[in-house]
Structure 1
Amino acid sequence: MNVKVDWSGNMTFTATSGSGHQVLMDGPPAAGGENKGPRPMEMMLMGMGGCTSFDVKAMLNKSRQDVTGCEVELQAERADAVPAVFTKIHCHFKVTGRNLKEALVKRAVALSAEKYCSASIMFNDAGVEISHSYEIHQQDLA
């Protein structure tokens, strides 16, 4: 896996993935940025959210759950001193579908956190306190 990051002026950078996709990152105006894109630390948190969501959705698919929506909200705390690393991250899943089995949703969230989500495990191994919760929204079969 490889990524290239190019400076685009002021405090704006364009990251290009090995698969050819681009993401613009920028800093806040107070740091010389123009607020054109997410901050690099926000990108890290978004990456973790994408990684764990991918796991949860894939496991629910394998369990033949009729998922019509899956989102995760991540809230992170950072150290007050430099480097301002993440100290805590909470992931709250909202899974919507028909006849969803709570035990399977709970298991998917736990397995992602404990075994499959590379980003979560990497942060956890670095000392970040990570917690998870979930809620299920059942839809009618109609």
Structure 2
Amino acid sequence: MKARVKLIDGMAFLGESGSGHGIVMDGAPEYGGRNIGIRPMEMLLLGLGGCTAFDVVQILRRGRESVTDCVIDISSERAETDPKVFTKIHLDYRVTGRDLSADKVERAINLSKEKYCSASIMLGATAKITHSWTVVDEAAGTETPSTA
């Protein structure tokens, strides 16, 4: 896997992935940026969210669960001094589908957390990562929140 980051203006950078996709990253104005792109540390959280969402949906679909939506709200805290690593990250999953098994959703989240999500495992070396989830059944119109 390869990537490239190139300065484009001020403190704005163009990130290009090996798969040919690009994204603009920029710093806050107080650091010389113009606020025209996502912050690099926000990219890490998005990478974590994308990695675990991919795992959870794939695990559930392989288990023949009918998943129609998966949204993960991510909140975090960072150290106050340099390096300002993430110290706490919370992922709140909202998995929607038809006749979804809450037990299978919990299992998929745990498998992602413990085995498959490389981003979660790497960030877990410095941050305490916690999870909560809600299963939304479109057919029944019900919501089942996690008890953990």
TM bucket by the smaller chain? over 0.9
TM-superposition CA deviations, 1:51-89 (whole Å, max 9, x none): 000000000110111111101111110000011100010
Structure 1 residue ranges without an equivalent (≥5):
none
Measure the CA separation in 2 of the matches of 1:15 and 1:127.
25
Amino acid of the residue matched to residue 53 of structure 2?
S
Provide the C-alpha distance between the structure 2 equivalents of 1:34 and 1:63, rounded to a whole number of angstroms.
46
Q: Give the TM-score normalised by structure 2.
A: 0.92
Q: Distance in 2 between matches of 1:63 and 1:35?
A: 42
Which residue in the other structure is 1:31 paired with? 31
Percent of aligned positions that are identical:
49
SS in 1 for 2:77: strand
Paired position in structure 1 for 2:144:
none
Match of 1:82 in 2: 82
Counterpart position of 1:113: 113
Residue 98 of structure 2 contacts residue 138 of structure 2 at CA under 8 Å; is this kept in 1? yes
Alignment of 1:22-101 (within 5 A): 22-101=22-101
**Is the 2:55–2:108 Cα contact (8 Å) retained in structure 1?**
yes
Amino acid paired to 2:130: S
Cα deviation 1:16-66 (Å, max 9, x = unaligned): 011110011001111111111110000011000000000000001101111
Aligned length: 140
Question: Could you list the runs of 4 or more consecutive aligned residues of structure 1 that deviate by over 2 angstroms after TM superposition?
Answer: none
After superposition, what is the alpha-carbon deviation per residue over 1:95-128, rounded to whole angstroms, capped at 9, x for unaligned?
Answer: 011100001000000000011000000111x221
**Aligned-residue CA RMSD in angstroms?**
0.9
SS at match of 2:52: helix
Question: Is 1:20 equivalent to 2:25 in the alignment?
Answer: no
For 2:103, the equivalent position in structure 1 comes to: 103
**Aligned equivalents of 2:60, 2:71: Cα separation in 1:** 13
- CA distance in 2: counterparts of 1:138 and 1:58, whole angstroms: 18
Query: Gaps (5+ residues) in structure 2?
Result: 141-148
